[in-house]
């Protein structure tokens, strides 16, 4: 499979288990690696035969900024579903970064990464 990777998509969301996270919100950063076969699109130089990564990016940010969830694991699963809804995408790897997580010790980032595929999709 070929890959189209969106790195560093940002949105402000109200995700988290603590009341402050639900009121104040925080920035979430998402990386999405879409797995698909781009050969037909390349042969025909045709956007309709591949994933429109601009449209996918807008949908992902809308989810980040949309309905809150407690866990970034849940957010990652929602984002994966959006990517897999694109007919060209066979599998996706999502990483959700929560750089402002409420942790009491110094840290650089907290991430959750998941990989999902369509039934009968990429191995």
Which are the catalytic amino acids?
98
Could you tell me the end-to-end alpha-carbon distance of the chain, in angstroms, rounded to an integer?
Answer: 9
What contacts 83, CB < 8 A, 6 or more positions away? 32, 34, 56, 60, 89, 92, 94
Parallel, antiparallel or unpaired: strands 111-117 and 2-13: unpaired
Burial of 68 (0-12, 13-18, 19+ CB in 10 A): middle
């Amino acid at each position: 499979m070929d890959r189209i990777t969106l790195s560093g998509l940002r949105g402000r969301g109200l995700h988290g288990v603590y009341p402050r996270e639900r009121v104040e919100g925080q920035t979430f950063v998402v990386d999405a690696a879409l797995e698909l076969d781009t050969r037909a699109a390349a042969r025909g130089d045709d956007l309709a035969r591949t994933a429109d990564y601009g449209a996918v990016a807008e949908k992902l940010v809308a989810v980040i900024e949309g309905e809150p969830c407690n866990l970034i694991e849940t957010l990652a699963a929602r984002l994966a579903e959006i990517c897999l809804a694109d007919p060209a995408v066979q599998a996706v790897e999502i990483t959700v970064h929560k750089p402002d997580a409420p942790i009491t010790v110094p840290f650089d980032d907290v991430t959750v990464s998941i990989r999902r595929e369509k039934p009968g999709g990429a191995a």
